[in-house]
């Protein structure tokens, strides 16, 4: 069991009070993002992963402190992937008014269990990743990894639980894709598994024991026959979940852009003969984006539901989805501003 | 003294088992050869032949004329067709239909069957199950459909079905649920109120009417298949004879049975979307330029 603790630095300079991890997970802090004075919020994070992986931000100050920087934490796996039976359990705790950006350096591959030497009816162990995140008041977390990439024949289960206190903010991207092109590259190659993202509202006063209420559970179950047939030719699927004041702008942006999508099956009455009018920068952006959505077979939805915003997307290939996510996040701009370039590395 | 929750649960359980026991005894009486009487009903049917009569409540609840508004935005069919009409060389809508029907059943079973089963077995949990299912139903179009049907069934229960159903824990749970129902909440309201999702209410109503769990689950899925097929007829995907052929087919029966088997042992935490595309198709129903199904 590995354990590492970074010492705290003066207030408002985020540091990890606890940072422990163990094989096959590696937690790597990187250059923090310096916030300009007008940007809001706090201090620092506390991460822990189990077989023991943890992150905790060190300072808790009685009064809200505006953070001056946002640490960037890489979640890495040895060899860029997980084998059958690997189980990662990571706990991240953000103290009040702290902020944390988390990402990966490339997709997390889920390898196929080795062929059993004997004819055995027992199912090989599933690869598991469990993440628990606690976000204190005014704290904010942007979790934007590269996609999980299950190889054909792999078994994978992922559970992410986010406990968000009032005025806390959460932004998470969770996506899965097949490997490469062709039949092998389809998510449908997965032999079985599923994923679950839960957002819990945590409220009440400290001393009296806080109450928790489940706001949303976004669950996917892939098992049984004919998984491939359920994918309709898509090679990548994903969800973005947003909650809290720091993500309000981004949430509204997705929902408004969704509502403004062209109607499906509507006729294009103009059909090329109208006078070419000059497009505004925003119109240019949207035109280009819609063209790419079509080329990449990208379908998406966005809505506000139970105090969160949920964005769902699917595309033919992972690069199409990556382009689209980057296009949306950069245009709206708040992720880069509030969480730094590290928060956009996954769409580079 | 107010009985503790455990005591109450046990009492409810005993009451339920007693109801079942007396129902079973009544059935034994009618089936038993030793009890064959020559008493004739006005139709000339012997009471002994009751055993060969179909399950009356089941016939009632599997009727497509049941006012549940079960078009439910065509369960995603119309949007599915719109998303597949532009692709060149795509098979025709009617060729695609069996595939869509199988996906629709898989999705309904993976997302709701565990809730149906728990609500049937433990109707006292109806409110909690409704809240949990609401947290899991993230697609607004799917949520509107589920809540519309659940509330319609609750109204039907109140106004038409409950008087003949007698007393049972499930009937009691439905009554309490009905009382606690508040006016519809706005979509992003953070206060969790009762929604009235279809699957748990269906489970409680079928239990209260003496329908078995397997029959309840099968009928729930079959009714969904009927709604999708009838939407297909309305959308001119197929004619009425072809539609009945689909409903009569062994293929559909097999799909329903395998969907039941795959989800029978699951706890509600294990429920989830088995067909990710369906959330996209259903969610994008709102984007259709012209719609046959607006509810």
Where is average pLDDT lowest: A37-51, A167-181, B149-163, B211-225?
A: A37-51
Does A271 fall in a domain? no
Question: What pLDDT, on a 0 to 100 scale, did the predictor assign at position A48?
Answer: 53
State the Rg of chain B over Cα.
21
Does A104 fall in a domain? yes
Do A303 and B275 make contact, defined as CB atoms within 8 angstroms?
A: no
> Of B187, B273, B276, which is closest to A314 when you measure between CB atoms?
B276
Comparing A257 with B30, the larger pLDDT belongs to A257
Other Cβ atoms within 10 Å of A145 Cβ, number: 20
Does A162 fall in a domain? yes
Mean per-residue pLDDT, A223-248: 89
Question: By percentage, how much of chain A surpasses pLDDT 70?
Answer: 78
Q: Which residue of B has its CA nearest to A216?
A: B135
Q: What angle do CA A79, A125, A227 make, to 5 degrees?
A: 90
Residues of A in contact with B189 (CB under 8 A): 306
Q: Is the pLDDT of residue A226 over 60?
A: yes
Rounded CA-CA distance A23/B259 in Å is 39
Question: What pLDDT, on a 0 to 100 scale, did the predictor assign at position A85?
Answer: 84
Query: How many CB pairs below 8 A link A and B?
Result: 113
Comparing B209 with A27, the larger pLDDT belongs to B209
Does A66 fall in a domain? yes
Q: Is the pLDDT of residue A41 over 50?
A: no
**Which residue bears the tokens 């240019």?**
A284
Question: What pLDDT, on a 0 to 100 scale, did the predictor assign at position A267?
Answer: 59
Rounded CA-CA distance A330/A253 in Å is 12
Rounded CA-CA distance A177/A243 in Å is 25
Does A221 fall in a domain? yes
Rounded CA-CA distance A74/A52 in Å is 16
DSSP class of residue B90? P
The number of domains in chain A is 1
Q: Is the pLDDT of residue A205 over 60?
A: yes
What's the pLDDT band for A209 if we cut at 50, 70, 90?
A: confident
Question: Which of A:233-262 have CB within 8 Å of B?
Answer: 234, 237, 261-262
Contact indicator for A242, A309 with CB cutoff of 8 Å: yes
> Of A216, A231, A265, which is closest to B290 when you measure between CB atoms?
A265
Where is average pLDDT lowest: A294-308, B39-53, B221-235?
A: B39-53
The verdict on A263 touching B (C-beta cutoff 8 Å) is: yes
CB-hemisphere CA count at 13 Å for A20? 14
Question: What pLDDT, on a 0 to 100 scale, did the predictor assign at position B11?
Answer: 72
Instruction: Write the burial class of residue A230 (CB in 10 Å: 0-12 exposed, 13-18 middle, 19+ buried).
Output: buried
Do B188 and A213 make contact, defined as CB atoms within 8 angstroms?
A: no
Do A306 and B110 make contact, defined as CB atoms within 8 angstroms?
A: no
C-alpha distances out from residue B76 to A5, A147, A166, B125, B178, Å: 51, 27, 36, 30, 29
Rounded CA-CA distance B262/A313 in Å is 26
Do A305 and B82 make contact, defined as CB atoms within 8 angstroms?
A: no
b/e burial code for range A177-208 (CB count within 10 A of at least 16 → b): bbbeeeeebbbbbbbbbbbbbbbbbbeeeeee
B154 Cβ neighbours under 8 A, 6+ residues apart: B174, B177, B178, B181, B196, B201
Does A118 fall in a domain? no
Closest approach of A31 to chain B, Cα-based (Å):
36
Closest CA to A46 of A88, A4, A109, A108: A4
Going by their DSSP bridges, the two strands A127-135 and A87-94 should be labelled as: parallel
DSSP class of residue B158? I
- Secondary structure (3-state) at B69: coil
b/e burial code for range B277-288 (CB count within 10 A of at least 16 → b): bbbbbbbbbbbb
Q: Is the pLDDT of residue A312 over 70?
A: yes
Rounded CA-CA distance B136/A305 in Å is 10
Mean pLDDT of all residues belonging to chain A:
82
**Which residue bears the tokens 């969904």?**
B224
Residues of B in contact with A217 (CB under 8 A): 132, 135-136
Contact indicator for B287, A263 with CB cutoff of 8 Å: yes
Give per-residue pLDDT as tens, B215-268: 999 999 999 999 999 999 998 899 999 999 999 999 999 999 999 999 999 999
Question: What fold characterizes domain B62-287?
Answer: Urease accessory protein UreF (1.10.4190)
C-alpha distances out from residue A339 to A141, A311, B140, Å: 9, 20, 30
Residues of B in contact with A162 (CB under 8 A): none
> Of B188, B274, B289, which is closest to A306 when you measure between CB atoms?
B188
Residues of A in contact with B270 (CB under 8 A): 221
Name the residue range of residue A91's domain. Answer: 16-113+125-262+280-347
Q: Is the pLDDT of residue B204 over 70?
A: yes
Classify residue A40 as left (phi > 0), alpha (psi -120 to 50) or beta.
beta
Query: And the tokens for B10?
Result: 């046990």
Question: What pLDDT, on a 0 to 100 scale, did the predictor assign at position A6?
Answer: 31
pTM metric for this prediction: 0.84
Do A216 and B271 make contact, defined as CB atoms within 8 angstroms?
A: no
DSSP string, B178-213: HHH--SPPPTT--S------HHHHHHHHHHHTT--H
Does A100 fall in a domain? yes
Q: Which residue of B has its CA nearest to A261?
A: B287
DSSP H or E segment with residue A35: none
> Of B106, B110, B279, which is closest to A312 when you measure between CB atoms?
B279
Question: What pLDDT, on a 0 to 100 scale, did the predictor assign at position B36?
Answer: 39
Give per-residue pLDDT as tens, A3-40: 333 333 344 456 787 888 888 888 888 888 988 765 44
Do B188 and A219 make contact, defined as CB atoms within 8 angstroms?
A: no
Question: What pLDDT, on a 0 to 100 scale, did the predictor assign at position A68?
Answer: 82
Closest CA to B75 of B148, B132, B172, B25: B148
- Chain centroid to CA A293: 21
Rounded CA-CA distance B48/B42 in Å is 14
Comparing A314 with A53, the larger pLDDT belongs to A314
Rounded CA-CA distance B144/B61 in Å is 21
Rounded to 10 deg, the angle between the B213-234 and B240-248 helix axes is 160
Mean pLDDT of all residues belonging to chain B:
84
Does A321 fall in a domain? yes
Question: What pLDDT, on a 0 to 100 scale, did the predictor assign at position B37?
Answer: 41
Give per-residue pLDDT as tens, B169-198: 999 999 999 998 855 555 554 455 799 999
Rounded CA-CA distance A100/A91 in Å is 13
Question: What pLDDT, on a 0 to 100 scale, did the predictor assign at position A54?
Answer: 61
What's the pLDDT band for A66 if we cut at 50, 70, 90?
A: low
Do A303 and B138 make contact, defined as CB atoms within 8 angstroms?
A: yes
Query: And the tokens for A290?
Result: 């819609």
DSSP H or E segment with residue A70: strand A69-77
The residue among B270, B287, B291 with the most chain A CBs within 10 A of its CB, best to mutate, is: B287
The residue among A150, A268, A303 with the most chain B CBs within 10 A of its CB, best to mutate, is: A303
Closest approach of B114 to chain A, Cα-based (Å):
13
Q: Which residue of A has its CA nearest to B136?
A: A217
The verdict on A301 touching B (C-beta cutoff 8 Å) is: yes
> Of A229, A261, A299, which is closest to B99 when you measure between CB atoms?
A229
Q: Is the pLDDT of residue A187 over 80?
A: no
What ipTM describes this predicted complex? 0.85
Q: Which residue of A has its CA nearest to B103?
A: A230
Where is average pLDDT lowest: A204-218, A285-299, B101-115?
A: A204-218
How many helices and strands (H and E) does chain B possess? 13, 0
The verdict on A157 touching B (C-beta cutoff 8 Å) is: no
Do B273 and A221 make contact, defined as CB atoms within 8 angstroms?
A: yes
Closest approach of A127 to chain B, Cα-based (Å):
17
Mean per-residue pLDDT, A173-201: 76
Contact indicator for B47, B55 with CB cutoff of 8 Å: no
b/e burial code for range A80-89 (CB count within 10 A of at least 16 → b): ebbbbebebb
CA dihedral A282, A285, A286, A292 (to 10 degrees): 180
Do A304 and B262 make contact, defined as CB atoms within 8 angstroms?
A: no
The verdict on A177 touching B (C-beta cutoff 8 Å) is: no
Do A221 and B270 make contact, defined as CB atoms within 8 angstroms?
A: yes
Comparing A190 with A45, the larger pLDDT belongs to A190
Query: And the tokens for A128?
Result: 């598991």
Closest approach of A1 to chain B, Cα-based (Å):
31
Residues of B in contact with A237 (CB under 8 A): 276
Q: Which residue of A has its CA nearest to B104?
A: A230
Going by their DSSP bridges, the two strands A53-57 and A87-94 should be labelled as: parallel
- Secondary structure (3-state) at B156: helix
């Amino acid at each position: 069991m590995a354990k590492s603790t970074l010492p705290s630095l003066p207030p408002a300079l985020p540091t990890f009070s606890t940072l422990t991890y163990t094989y096959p997970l590696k937690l790597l802090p990187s250059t923090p993002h310096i916030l300009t004075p007008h940007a809001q919020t706090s201090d620092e994070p506390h991460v822990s992963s189990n077989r023991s992986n943890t992150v905790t931000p060190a300072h808790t100050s009685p009064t809200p402190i505006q953070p001056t920087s946002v640490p960037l934490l890489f979640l890495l796996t040895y060899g860029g992937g997980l084998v059958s039976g690997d189980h990662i359990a990571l706990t991240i705790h953000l103290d009040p008014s702290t902020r944390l950006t988390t990402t990966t350096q490339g997709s997390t591959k889920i390898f196929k269990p080795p062929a059993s030497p004997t004819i055995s009816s027992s199912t090989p162990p599933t690869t598991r990743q469990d993440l628990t995140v606690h976000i204190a008041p005014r704290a904010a977390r942007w979790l934007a990894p590269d996609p999980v990439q299950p190889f054909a024949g792999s078994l994978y289960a992922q559970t992410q639980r986010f406990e968000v206190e009032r005025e806390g903010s959460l932004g998470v991207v969770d996506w899965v894709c097949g490997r490469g092109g062709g039949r092998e590259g389809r998510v449908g190659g997965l032999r079985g598994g599923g994923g679950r993202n839960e957002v819990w509202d945590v409220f009440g006063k400290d001393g009296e024991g806080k109450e928790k209420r489940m706001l949303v559970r976004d669950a996917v179950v892939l098992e049984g026959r004919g998984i491939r047939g359920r994918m309709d030719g898509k090679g990548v699927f994903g969800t973005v979940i947003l909650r809290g004041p720091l993500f309000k702008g981004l949430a509204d942006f997705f929902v408004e852009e969704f509502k403004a999508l062209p109607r499906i099956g509507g006729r294009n009455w103009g059909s090329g003969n109208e006078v070419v009018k000059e497009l505004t920068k925003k119109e240019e952006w949207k035109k280009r984006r819609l063209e790419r959505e079509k080329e990449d077979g990208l379908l998406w939805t966005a809505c506000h539901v139970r105090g969160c915003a949920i964005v769902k997307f699917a595309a033919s290939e992972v690069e199409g989805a990556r382009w689209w996510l980057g296009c949306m996040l950069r245009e709206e701009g708040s992720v880069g501003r509030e969480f730094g370039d590290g928060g956009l590395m996954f769409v580079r | 003294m107010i009985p503790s929750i455990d005591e109450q649960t046990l009492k409810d359980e005993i009451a339920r088992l007693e109801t079942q026991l007396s129902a079973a005894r009544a059935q034994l009486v009618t089936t038993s050869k030793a009890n064959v009487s020559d008493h004739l009903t006005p139709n000339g049917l012997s009471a002994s032949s009751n055993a060969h009569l179909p399950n009356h409540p089941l016939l009632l609840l599997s009727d497509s004329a049941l006012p549940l508004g079960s078009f439910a935005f065509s369960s995603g069919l119309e949007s599915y067709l719109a998303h597949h009409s532009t692709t060149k060389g795509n098979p025709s809508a009617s060729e695609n239909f069996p595939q869509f029907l199988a996906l629709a059943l898989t999705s309904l079973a993976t997302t709701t069957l565990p809730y149906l089963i728990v609500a049937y077995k433990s109707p006292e949990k109806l409110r909690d199950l409704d809240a949990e299912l609401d947290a899991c139903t993230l697609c607004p179009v799917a949520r509107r459909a589920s809540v519309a049907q659940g509330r319609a069934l609750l109204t039907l229960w109140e106004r038409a079905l409950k008087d003949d159903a007698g007393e049972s824990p499930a009937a009691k749970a439905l009554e309490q649920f009905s009382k606690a129902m508040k006016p519809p909440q706005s979509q992003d309201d953070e206060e969790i109120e009762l929604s009235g999702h279809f699957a748990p209410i269906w489970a409680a109503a079928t239990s209260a009417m003496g329908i078995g769990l397997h029959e309840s689950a099968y009928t729930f899925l079959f009714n969904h298949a009927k709604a999708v097929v009838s939407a297909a007829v309305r959308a001119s995907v197929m004619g009425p004879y072809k539609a009945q052929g689909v409903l009569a087919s062994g293929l559909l029966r097999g799909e329903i049975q395998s969907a039941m088997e795959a989800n029978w042992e699951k706890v509600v935490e294990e429920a989830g979307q088995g067909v990710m595309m369906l959330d996209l198709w259903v969610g994008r129903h709102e984007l259709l330029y012209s719609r046959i199904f607006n509810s």
